[in-house]
Structure formats: C-alpha cells, structure tokens
Amino acid sequence: MAYDLLVHVKKYTRQVTIAATLALTPVTALADEVLIGVEDLTYYPHYTFENGEYSGFGRAVLDAWAGDRGHTVTYKAFPIKRLMSMLVDGEVDLKYPDNAYWSSDLKDGKNVTYSEAVVEYIDGVSVKPEQVGKGMGSVKKLGTVRGFTPWAWLDEINSGAVELSELGALDGLVKQVLAGRIDAAYANVSVIQHQLDQMGEAGALTFDPDLKHTRDFYYLSTTTKPALIEDFNSWMAENADKVAALKAEYNVTLD
C-alpha cells in the first residue's frame, strides 16, 4: 500500500513538473513556421507586393518579430477580398493588415483575434491644392482602390450624392485625379504622398482634413493561431523603441 502510494505521488509530481515546463515554454515553440497572408497591392511605405516580394513597414516589423522569436515566416499575397476569405476560413495563419471594421459581415460568427495596434493611419481624401477647403459638395466622383471601402463616405455614396469609382491600382487612381476624371482619391494619406513622389508629382495632390476621413490603426489578425498574436503583442511591448524606429524609417508616423 505504501509502495503504491509512493508510485502515485511520483507519477503526480512528474505530471505537475511536465505541466509547469509546458507553461513556461516560449510561445515560439507552438508554431515556428508561419504563413502570413498579405494584400497583393502596391501600398508603400506601409506595404507592397511587387515582383514576388513583400516589402515596406509591414514586412519590416513582422520580420523583426519573427527574427527575435525564432519563427520562420512565409508571406503570400492575395487580392484583398480573397485574402479576407482565407483569413476567416483559416487558410492563412495570420493576416496583415486588418481591422475589426473591415468585412465585418464576413467575419460575423468567426473567432477573429486581433493584436494590439501596430501603426496608426489616416484614410482620407486627396485633392488638387486649389480644391482644398471647398467642402463636401466639391466631390461628386470619388475614387478608391478596388477592394477598399471608403467608410467615411458611405452615406454620400449610398444616397447617390457621390459616385464611387474603383481603380485596380494606386498609380491609376492618382492619375485619374490629376487628369480631372475624378474629383478626389480616397486612400491612405501617407501612401498617396509616396506615390506622388515616385511619379515626380510631389505636391500635386494634398490631403483635405476638412473632408470626411478615417483615423484608425492597422492590426495583425488570426482565426487559428491566437498564441501567435499573444507572442506578437509581448514582443511589441518589449520592443517599443524598435517599432518606433521602424515607423520613423518608413515615414509612417502621424503628427
């Protein structure tokens, strides 16, 4: 009887030790190969996928996290709407960027886990400088990149007061405004300014803060690997200076 009790105690102690060891095991052990779904879109300096390569601030911060934590990361790009479907269906481990407001109907009933805020952004209206300050009535035809939703302007679009024009690429969107075919471009303000610089058209369009716009954050999300989100959050908290330096390097900070 005493022997049986001793064996039981030893077995129990071993189980507790194993459980405690597992509890202390870094999250990196849970998944060291991570598939991150990204948007097949030129949206630099935040992110871009060109010639099979993902780059920009998004990659810089995710690579820094993966490198520090020992993860092996693969980036795979998809059209915006398809990528969201792949997230909710669990076909990618993580999605960047994401926001709880995006495709909320598609996410309804799905267990989506979001990270802490990664970077702040402004999606707003860029117009020719002489149009700044002329008010909402000056925009009759609003352009955006296909797959994006200009949330701040949905009332005007749904009422028919503003016609929405969806373009396949950012450079095409900018060219349409410069040519006067549409009145304004709705997109990330930093991205529009970078695109203008690349086209040699710096200053040709400017953000009008008096027109409806959205100020929010990009997040990392998952439906299958919440432990990775927890790990990413911990890394960001421990490396706030590194994240801030990357934001400054890629010029994605807001005033």
Tell me how far apart the alpha carbons of residues 67 and 158 are, in angstroms, rounded to a whole number: 45
What is the architecture, at CATH level 2, of domain 27-119+217-249? 3-Layer(aba) Sandwich (3.40)
- Backbone phi, psi, residue 215, to 5°: -115, 115
Domain boundaries, the chain: 27-119+217-249, 121-215
Could you report the per-residue pLDDT of 12-26, keeping only the tens digit for each? 444 433 333 333 444
> 138-171: per-residue pLDDT in tens?
999 999 998 888 989 999 999 999 999 999 889 9
CATH 3.40.190.10 for domain 121-215, yes or no, is yes
pTM given for the model: 0.80
pLDDT digits (tens, 9 = 90+) for 29-44: 455 799 999 999 889 9
CA distances from 255 to 122, 162, 215, 251 (A): 11, 29, 12, 11
Q: From residue 79, how far is each of 40, 76, 82, 105, 145 by CA, in Å?
A: 5, 10, 5, 18, 11
**Three-state secondary-structure class, residue 11:** helix
